[in-house]
A and B are shown apart, each in its own frame.
Chain A
Amino acid sequence: MKMSLRNIQKVRSIWSLNFNPSYLITFTKLSKYIALSGWEVDTKLSIILILTDGIVFYNQTTTMKKLITVVIWVFCGGFIFAQESPDTKNDTTKLDEITLVGRRKLSNYRQEKTLSSIDDYLEKSSKITMIKRGNYAWEPAMNNMNSERLSVTIDGMQIFGACTDKMDPITSYVDVSNLQKVSIGSGQSGSENGHTIGGGIDLQLSNSKFHQSGLKTSIDLGYETNGNYKTGGLDLEYSGNKFYLHADGIYRKSDNYDAGNSQEVLYSQFQKYNISLQSGYKLNDHHTFEAAVIYDKATDVGYPALTMDVSLAEALITSVTHKFENDSTLIQSLESKLYFNTITHVMDDSKRPDVPIRMDMPGWSDTYGFYSKATTNINKHAFEVNLNGFYNRSLAEMTMYPNDPNQSAMFMYTWPDIRTLYSGIYAKDTYAIKDDMSLSAALRIGFHQNEIAKETGLESLQIFYPEIGATKNRMLTSFTTNYQVKKEHYDVSLGAGYGERAASVSEGYGFFLFNSFDNYDYIGNPTLNNEKAIEANFKANYHENRFHLGLETSYFYIIDYIIGSVDNSLSPMTIGASGVKMYEALSHAKIFNVYLNSSYKFSNSFSLNGTVGYNYGSGSNNENLPLIKPFSYLAEVNYSKPKFNAALQLQGNGNQTRYSGFYGEDETSAYAILNLNLGNEFNLNANKFVLKYGIENILDTNYSTYADWNNIPRQGRNFYINMSYIIY
């Protein structure tokens, strides 16, 4: 069934507050590419709209007598940007087929690889760069800021890696099969779930699926020649009227990969599996209970950029959720979640032949938390309140075995049992001034407490800071406001914000944490002030017929910017380290980025798009900040038909001239690579078969980017094939 404008108008009237007319226009223009189907379910209306430029409007819950579930997928990554922001320009399958699937997690049949990892998936966003220490567990960075300055959550749940060397960003503990979408908010617009400077990434689990579709099974298989990388996944879903159950499992195994010119990158292997179970029961029209369990276990993970590998990275993530929805009450929706997660991470160097000293470095992180979020619409205001809290315990230790067997093992707590207690409240109001103009304001206030629970831990840190006590309390505040105008041919968004964050466990309490990037041991500083950021952002898009032009820029002025500073009086612990850095605060730092993107559709199936980006970062000491992305570009030619798509992609970075020698970086040369991605889709009886295949780095370029730890080279030429078979 084709979607008519009337349908859209209807949609719009229901979602007038959130739905924006200019997108409607985009939408109507696109409507010829859009297939739509709807079916009756119960008494809920759910709409998912994903627009071509990667903006996803998602909403659910309105009571109507007649109920339709409409799911519209326009081909794009499935990212949800809080401020309707950027898109997945990398995604070759973009603008391609418009398929109507029930509800697909992460729209992974529309990715260039159906079985791509979360890491691959995130990397498709121009907003996000992945910092690589190996072929697994990449660390996301947004606006040139990484873990400490971002709020990364899983479905609103706080979860903290257990590795002192950031070898386990939490994105490594979930897999695409667990998730429905990834919601990214740049800067303070990402502060819904926690305090942040650079932005928020929320990895969202599948939503309630009471769509009576019965049992659905899908099987995924993937193979890549480079690294002999094998993937297998199985997905079972039962969806009834009152009850649903979703179970999935995925297994990944890769040997060492080859960089360009068949240069093997040693210790780049990995192996992991992930299983998850999600279930829901609908008590009545207003009340739903859900439970989710995710178990993720990676073993034998190599980190070529580091001196140690990982023998175990294990996470158990659990939650129970209650959802209330009612349009006739003051609070129209209320979602409350209780959660617990536990992570065990074991670093290991037993596979490395030459190390100055053998060591074990296990770490543990347990988090208990809750959130309760309510939404309501009053007149032209859409209110959102989120009350949340968590308690985290982070403990890591290091045992070193001297080469002289007569000496006993050396032991220290690298994270001396740090307890973090946080509770805070977030409130947001979006006011629709006119149909095409809106103003929003959001505020988060929270209480944050760190405590050193182990006496030994406190005493060890008192070696460096004799005056400190066991606890440190902070108040954290974030504020943001945003103004948007959307007209037929253009839209403009203007935002400003202020945010604060507490020092991370490593920054505050780390004890001789070796950083192989600059070759220094790091000592945490419990006396650090909150880091504060003043932020301004601007975005504009212009569309005319088949032509689109977009500009996006943001500027951060960060006060008390936390970074390591060399203390020459200290002696390094790690053998071979250049010295010791203490976490200190620069009086300020500036980070700026600008992206320009453009696309042109030659025909319905043939399009061209390109993005260029520039980033800048420097501190008050007049030194460049580390890990600032150099000039980058992406150009892509797409050809797509409903059952076939092809894309040729050119991606590269300019020379990293503004590298930060002061913070241990070296200059990374310019590079460019070519990728070719192809996809087919077949219907076999009622079932569906999706095939994705292609060649990455066609020219077998040997390169590394600014985000590659210690310049480890990236993958050389790689042939891949992913197959998915969906049995309805």
Chain B
Amino acid sequence: MNLLLNKTLKKMKLKYIIPILFIALFTVACSSDDDSDAIINEVENLKKIQELTNATHTVELFNATGKFETGYNAISIRIKDNGTNNYVENASLSWMPVMQMPTMKHSSPKSDILKSLGKKTLYEGFIVYQMANLDGSGWSLTIEYSIDGTNYSVASDIIVMQSEYQNVTSFMGADDTRYLIAMIEPQTPKIAINKLKLGLFKMETMMSFPVVEDYKITLDPRMPGMGNHSSPNNTDLTYNLANKMYEGNLSLTMTGYWVLNLKLLNTLDEVLKGENVTEEHPKSSLYLELEF
């Protein structure tokens, strides 16, 4: 880096070098005064959803929109030490979202929480909220974390709003198992061949939703507003061990409202849910929606 800089400097004329030096000095002076400037930059493109506070720490939750909605939610987390106002860089975290219903309660699929790559103070993971009440109530989130061998916990009610389109679906398979499929990508669909990533989870217990591996999901995207127009060069989704998601190609020929008709097949290629789209049967019972 220094070598590169030197080379660059050599190429520059003196009249450029002097102001650049001044600017560099000034910048260094500023940032050494206030470390938090650099830290705030780590959440620059994120919006804060909520803070969860206990006696010692404030746990801040961020994502791109600043709110929870049903479906896949990528979440960034930061822990502030209430005493020093510094952000904790060496915590290990886990979480448990819970939906309280009148007669029972259940959790939802979620990932482990890992340190964000290349960040000092950020941790990340995802939660798939499979349902929501109209007013956003019902969900609560407990985050347990340990710093330097000491365990802490923080909990709070959270607001989860219903997404406009069905980007997650929970269903009973032919094998009498309850499954959950959630759309992870594309977050911003375009007129192109999009990379489609879905998460497939099994409801093992009310509180446990592990990833299902090595099944197959077929894809048939349609536009009901255009006489159920389909698109070419879509591919069925297969399991990617590396990111634990199902991946395939989704062709979108125009903007608008699309229904992604799906079929779920197990490792024996037995259909667990969903049907082919035909003139008489325009929509599979297993589907997701998107609009752009």
Query: Nearest Cβ in chain B — how far from A718, in angstroms?
Result: 40
Q: What are the nearest 6 A-B pairs in CB distance? A: A410-B256, A459-B192, A402-B225, A571-B230, A412-B254, A575-B227
- B282 touches A (CB below 8 Å): no
Question: Which of B193, B226, B252 makes the CB contact (< 8 A) with A357?
Answer: B226
- B107 touches A (CB below 8 Å): no
B253 and A460 contacting across the interface, CB-CB below 8 Å: yes
- B186 touches A (CB below 8 Å): no
Question: Whole-angstrom distance between the alpha carbons of A466 and B223 in the complex?
Answer: 22
Report B-chain residues with C-beta under 8 Å of the C-beta of A512.
253-254
B254 and A462 contacting across the interface, CB-CB below 8 Å: no
Query: Nearest Cβ in chain B — how far from A567, in angstroms?
Result: 8
Question: Which of A410, A464, A466, A569 makes the CB contact (< 8 A) with B254?
Answer: A410
B193 and A402 contacting across the interface, CB-CB below 8 Å: no
Report A-chain residues with C-beta under 8 Å of the C-beta of B193.
459, 462-463, 466
Whose C-beta in chain A lies nearest to the C-beta of B258?
Answer: A410
User: Given A409-B256, A410-B255, A411-B254, do A462 and B225 touch, yes or no (CB 8 Å)?
Assistant: no
A357 and B255 contacting across the interface, CB-CB below 8 Å: no
A463 and B251 contacting across the interface, CB-CB below 8 Å: yes
Report A-chain residues with C-beta under 8 Å of the C-beta of B227.
356, 572, 575-576
State which size class the interface on A falls in.
Answer: 20 to 34
Question: Which of B229, B251, B257, B291 makes the CB contact (< 8 A) with A572?
Answer: B229
| B226-270 contacts to A (CB < 8 Å) | 226-233, 251-257
Whose C-beta in chain B lies nearest to the C-beta of A575?
Answer: B227
Report B-chain residues with C-beta under 8 Å of the C-beta of A571.
228-232
Query: Nearest Cβ in chain A — how far from B219, in angstroms?
Result: 14
- B9 touches A (CB below 8 Å): no
Query: Nearest Cβ in chain B — how far from A461, in angstroms?
Result: 9
- A400 touches B (CB below 8 Å): yes
| A424-461 contacts to B (CB < 8 Å) | 456, 459-460
B190 and A456 contacting across the interface, CB-CB below 8 Å: yes
A402 and B229 contacting across the interface, CB-CB below 8 Å: no
Question: Which of B226, B232, B252, B255 makes the CB contact (< 8 A) with A464?
Answer: B232
Whose C-beta in chain A lies nearest to the C-beta of B257?
Answer: A407
Report A-chain residues with C-beta under 8 Å of the C-beta of B253.
412, 460, 463, 511-512, 573
Question: Which of B225, B228, B233, B251 makes the CB contact (< 8 A) with A410?
Answer: B225
- A355 touches B (CB below 8 Å): no
A456 and B257 contacting across the interface, CB-CB below 8 Å: no
A-B contact pairs, 13 of them (CB 8 A): A400-B226, A403-B225, A404-B224, A407-B257, A410-B223, A410-B226, A410-B254, A411-B255, A459-B192, A464-B232, A512-B254, A571-B231, A572-B227
B223 and A463 contacting across the interface, CB-CB below 8 Å: no
User: Given A408-B257, A464-B232, A466-B233, do A459 and B226 touch, yes or no (CB 8 Å)?
Assistant: no
Report B-chain residues with C-beta under 8 Å of the C-beta of A101.
none
| A257-273 contacts to B (CB < 8 Å) | none
Question: Whole-angstrom distance between the alpha carbons of A404 and B190 in the complex?
Answer: 22
B191 and A412 contacting across the interface, CB-CB below 8 Å: yes
- A570 touches B (CB below 8 Å): yes
Since A400-B225, A408-B291 are in contact, a sample of 8 more A-B pairs with Cβ atoms closer than 8 Å, ordered by chain A residue number, is A402-B256, A403-B225, A407-B291, A412-B255, A460-B253, A463-B232, A463-B253, A573-B226
Question: Which of A356, A411, A511, A575 makes the CB contact (< 8 A) with B256?
Answer: A411
Report A-chain residues with C-beta under 8 Å of the C-beta of B226.
357, 400, 402, 410, 573, 575
Residues of B within 8 A of A (CB): 190-193, 223-233, 251-257, 291
Question: Whole-angstrom distance between the alpha carbons of A569 and B256 in the complex?
Answer: 22
Question: Which of A407, A463, A572 makes the CB contact (< 8 A) with B233?
Answer: A463
Whose C-beta in chain B lies nearest to the C-beta of A573?
Answer: B229
User: Given A410-B225, A412-B191, A463-B193, do A573 and B254 touch, yes or no (CB 8 Å)?
Assistant: yes
Interface centre among B191, B227, B231, B291 (most CB of A within 10 A): B191
Whose C-beta in chain B lies nearest to the C-beta of A457?
Answer: B191
Query: Nearest Cβ in chain A — how far from B261, in angstroms?
Result: 13
Query: Nearest Cβ in chain A — how far from B77, in angstroms?
Result: 34
B225 and A456 contacting across the interface, CB-CB below 8 Å: no
Interface centre among A410, A569, A570, A576 (most CB of B within 10 A): A410
A402 and B191 contacting across the interface, CB-CB below 8 Å: no
A463 and B231 contacting across the interface, CB-CB below 8 Å: yes
Question: Whole-angstrom distance between the alpha carbons of A407 and B164 in the complex?
Answer: 11
Report A-chain residues with C-beta under 8 Å of the C-beta of B257.
402, 407-408, 410
Question: Which of B190, B191, B230, B256 makes the CB contact (< 8 A) with A408?
Answer: B256
A464 and B230 contacting across the interface, CB-CB below 8 Å: no
Report B-chain residues with C-beta under 8 Å of the C-beta of A570.
232
Question: Whole-angstrom distance between the alpha carbons of A466 and B229 in the complex?
Answer: 20
Whose C-beta in chain A lies nearest to the C-beta of B231?
Answer: A463
Report B-chain residues with C-beta under 8 Å of the C-beta of A569.
232
B192 and A460 contacting across the interface, CB-CB below 8 Å: yes
Report A-chain residues with C-beta under 8 Å of the C-beta of B254.
398, 400, 410-412, 512, 573
Whose C-beta in chain B lies nearest to the C-beta of A570?
Answer: B232
Question: Whole-angstrom distance between the alpha carbons of A101 and B96 in the complex?
Answer: 95
| A394-417 contacts to B (CB < 8 Å) | 398, 400, 402-404, 407-413
Query: Nearest Cβ in chain B — how far from A491, in angstroms?
Result: 56
Question: Which of A407, A459, A460 makes the CB contact (< 8 A) with B225?
Answer: A407
Report B-chain residues with C-beta under 8 Å of the C-beta of A573.
226, 229, 253-254
| A624-673 contacts to B (CB < 8 Å) | none
Whose C-beta in chain A lies nearest to the C-beta of B228?
Answer: A571
Query: Nearest Cβ in chain B — how far from A479, in angstroms?
Result: 40
Whose C-beta in chain A lies nearest to the C-beta of B220?
Answer: A571
Question: Whole-angstrom distance between the alpha carbons of A459 and B193 in the complex?
Answer: 7
Question: Whole-angstrom distance between the alpha carbons of A456 and B232 in the complex?
Answer: 17
Question: Whole-angstrom distance between the alpha carbons of A413 and B224 in the complex?
Answer: 20
Whose C-beta in chain B lies nearest to the C-beta of A398?
Answer: B254
Question: Whole-angstrom distance between the alpha carbons of A575 and B224 in the complex?
Answer: 11
Query: Nearest Cβ in chain A — how far from B277, in angstroms?
Result: 10
Whose C-beta in chain A lies nearest to the C-beta of B225?
Answer: A402
Query: Nearest Cβ in chain B — how far from A395, in angstroms?
Result: 15
Question: Whole-angstrom distance between the alpha carbons of A573 and B226 in the complex?
Answer: 7
Report B-chain residues with C-beta under 8 Å of the C-beta of A410.
223, 225-226, 254-257
Report A-chain residues with C-beta under 8 Å of the C-beta of B223.
410
Report B-chain residues with C-beta under 8 Å of the C-beta of A413.
191
Whose C-beta in chain B lies nearest to the C-beta of A569?
Answer: B232
Whose C-beta in chain A lies nearest to the C-beta of B191?
Answer: A460
Question: Whole-angstrom distance between the alpha carbons of A208 and B227 in the complex?
Answer: 57
Question: Whole-angstrom distance between the alpha carbons of A463 and B230 in the complex?
Answer: 12
Interface centre among B228, B229, B251 (most CB of A within 10 A): B229
Question: Whole-angstrom distance between the alpha carbons of A403 and B288 in the complex?
Answer: 21
| A559-597 contacts to B (CB < 8 Å) | 569-573, 575-576
Report B-chain residues with C-beta under 8 Å of the C-beta of A572.
227, 229
Question: Whole-angstrom distance between the alpha carbons of A419 and B190 in the complex?
Answer: 22
Query: Nearest Cβ in chain A — how far from B83, in angstroms?
Result: 50
Question: Whole-angstrom distance between the alpha carbons of A86 and B151 in the complex?
Answer: 97
Report B-chain residues with C-beta under 8 Å of the C-beta of A576.
227
Report B-chain residues with C-beta under 8 Å of the C-beta of A408.
255-257, 291
Query: Nearest Cβ in chain A — how far from B135, in angstroms?
Result: 22
Report A-chain residues with C-beta under 8 Å of the C-beta of B255.
408-412
Report B-chain residues with C-beta under 8 Å of the C-beta of A402.
225-226, 256-257
Question: Whole-angstrom distance between the alpha carbons of A403 and B223 in the complex?
Answer: 12
Report B-chain residues with C-beta under 8 Å of the C-beta of A400.
225-226, 254, 256
Query: Nearest Cβ in chain A — how far from B185, in angstroms?
Result: 16
B192 and A462 contacting across the interface, CB-CB below 8 Å: yes
Query: Nearest Cβ in chain B — how far from A65, in angstroms?
Result: 68
Query: Nearest Cβ in chain B — how far from A393, in angstroms?
Result: 20
